[in-house]
Amino acid sequence: MKPTIMSLGNLRDLYQQVILERYKSPKHRGVTDPVHRRQRGHNPSCGDTIELTVQLNEAGDRIADVKFQGEGCAISMASVDLMAEAMRGKSLEEALEMVQRFQNMMKGEAEFPKAQRKLNVMQGVAQFPVRIKCANLCWHTLKAAIEASANSDANGFVSNENE
Ligand code: ZN
């Protein structure tokens, strides 16, 4: 059975509000122009499916823009919208560090520094083990997009089923 938004009742009200606002009115939905990386991701345990597109800078070592398409629960959609925002202007190295930090945050072992504190609204999800995959999906997918070479077949899915 698909857990509903009501199962987030224990989250702090402000955080829950931010998550729901992002879900209802995402700021980074769409496709980047041009598309330098494209990666789909799927979370079978909930049914969340996203497609990320990434635009790099001219040197190809920094993220200019990230956008997403797809459908999923409030947690997965809020996570990807917040991630897209946080990734703008980041070097690929910084982006991978942030992926690691987010995954550690979902284990209750880390949080983001002040400059990226918006991402900490997802912190409460760590208390809901079944939803952690929802929050991690986009980060997992971004990592695959960054690590894929520009020429590789980008139409494969990453799945976090075995995580
Ligand atoms: Zn989900």
pLDDT in tens, 35-50: 999 999 999 999 999 9
pLDDT above 70 covers what percent of the chain?
Answer: 85
Distance 78 CA to ligand 1 centre (A): 10
Does residue 12 lie in a domain region? Answer: no
Distance 25 CA to ligand 1 centre (A): 17
Residue 4: Cβ-neighbour burial (10 angstroms; 0-12, 13-18, 19+): exposed
CB-based contacts of 46: which residues, under 8 Å, 6+ apart?
Answer: 2, 3, 72, 73, 76, 131, 133, 134
Does residue 124 lie in a domain region? Answer: yes
Cα–Cα dist 8/153, whole Å: 37
In this predicted structure, the answer to whether residue 9 has a pLDDT above a threshold of 60 is: no
Whole-prediction pTM: 0.86
pLDDT for the residue numbered 152: 54
Q: Could you tell me which of 45, 53, 60 has the C-alpha nearest to residue 136? A: 45
| CATH code: domain of residue 64 | 3.90.1010.10
Cα–Cα dist 120/110, whole Å: 9
Does residue 20 lie in a domain region? Answer: no
Distance 65 CA to ligand 1 centre (A): 24
In this predicted structure, the answer to whether residue 143 has a pLDDT above a threshold of 80 is: yes
Whole domain around residue 50: which residue ranges? 27-158
Mean pLDDT (whole number) for 125-152? 89
**Mind listing the pLDDT tens digit for each residue in 70-122?**
999 999 999 999 999 999 999 999 999 999 999 999 999 999 999 999 999 99
Q: How many domains does the chain have?
A: 1
In this predicted structure, the answer to whether residue 156 has a pLDDT above a threshold of 70 is: no
In this predicted structure, the answer to whether residue 3 has a pLDDT above a threshold of 60 is: no
Distance 43 CA to ligand 1 centre (A): 7
The residue ranking higher by pLDDT, 128 or 10, is 128
